[in-house]
Amino acid sequence: MCAAFAVYSAVVYTSGTETPHLEPISEPARAGQQVFQEYNCIACHQFYGLGGYMGPDLTNVISKRGPIYARAFIASGSARMPNFKLSEPEISALIEYLTFVDGTGSYPPENYQVNWYGTVVQEDDPQ
């Protein structure tokens, strides 16, 4: 049993699960992160499926809908999202933050494969 555990651990550890290189967050994006936290946006919205369920997942809102679309909702609100009356610098910072988050990956994963040893690989990942 211990030998099986050791072999399994070695296979999982050496399976090529390399963390992708991410650029550090810029100062404008960090300011947007502060605005996101200050207004508790995560209470209604999600990143990677984690967060509130009243609003949509914002992981890839910039690449799917564009910054103009996101800016319109942030500036005006909607029937379900209140207008927080954010200043133009706050809105721009939020757009920068959403652009940063968008660059970290995609959600939900469209094509994935579960390996026999338990790791999940997205099929379009270069390995």
State pLDDT tens for residues 46-64. Answer: 999 999 999 999 999 999 9
Spatial separation of the C-alpha atoms in residues 25 and 94, rounded to whole Å: 13
Q: What is the pTM of this model?
A: 0.72
- Percentage of residues in the chain with pLDDT exceeding 90? 62
**Sign, Cα dihedral of 100, 101, 105, 108:** negative
Kindly report the average pLDDT of the chain as a whole number: 88
The whole-number pLDDT of residue 38 equals: 97
Spatial separation of the C-alpha atoms in residues 27 and 24, rounded to whole Å: 9
Looking at domain 24-108, which of 1.10.760.10, 1.20.120.1760, 3.40.47.10, 3.40.50.300 is its CATH number? 1.10.760.10
State pLDDT tens for residues 18-36. Answer: 666 678 899 999 999 999 9
The whole-number pLDDT of residue 20 equals: 61
Q: For the chain, give every domain's residue range.
A: 24-108
